[in-house]
Amino acid sequence: MRPEPAQQARARRIAAELSSIARTGRVLPGSITERRTHCGRPGCKCMASPPEPHGPYWHWTRKVRAKTVGRWLTADQHDDYEPWVQNSRRLRELVGELEAIGLEVIESDPRSRRPRS
């Protein structure tokens, strides 16, 4: 079995985007979340009405051997690395699209319908 021309064309478009992201060298696993905190000290702006929380603080987390590992980033680091994290997310989407082509091929493989003897 081999992909049909239309599937090959999709794979080539995916490969071009994968390659363009990889060439940047800017790929970082995990995710970055924004945190705002309330210290609870009476009279602090975070306890005012309306409350003005501390932050934003930026927390980068990723999985290392099935455990979540986190690191705080400066606002400057957040601005620098957020696109890197987005690149990694896009790479995973693109691999998923490639796998979808493979699934289409195996689903249309006539040998898949051969009854068991």
Q: Is 48 exposed, middle or buried (0-12, 13-18, 19+ CB in 10 A)?
A: exposed
When asked if residue 57 is in the footprint of Zn ion (CB under 5 A), the reply is: no
Q: How far is the CB of 55 from Zn ion (least distance, A)?
A: 10
Nearer to Zn ion, 49 or 112 (CB): 49
Asked if 105 touches Zn ion (CB under 5 A), the answer is: no
Q: Contact with Zn ion (CB under 5 A): which of 1, 22, 39, 69?
A: 39
| CA nearest neighbour of 29 among 79, 75, 91 | 91
Count of residues in the chain: 117
User: What is the smallest separation between the CB atom of 35 and Zn ion, expressed in angstroms?
Assistant: 13
Query: Under the criterion CB under 5 A, does residue 46 sit at the interface with Zn ion?
Result: yes
Distance CA 66, CA 83 (A): 24
Least distance in angstroms from the C-beta of 61 to Zn ion: 24
**Which residue number, 51 or 96, has a Cβ lying nearer to Zn ion?**
51
| Residue 71 φ/ψ, nearest 5 degrees | -150, 140
Distance of CA 47 to the CA centre of its chain: 35
Contacting residues toward Zn ion, per CB under 5 A = 39, 44, 46
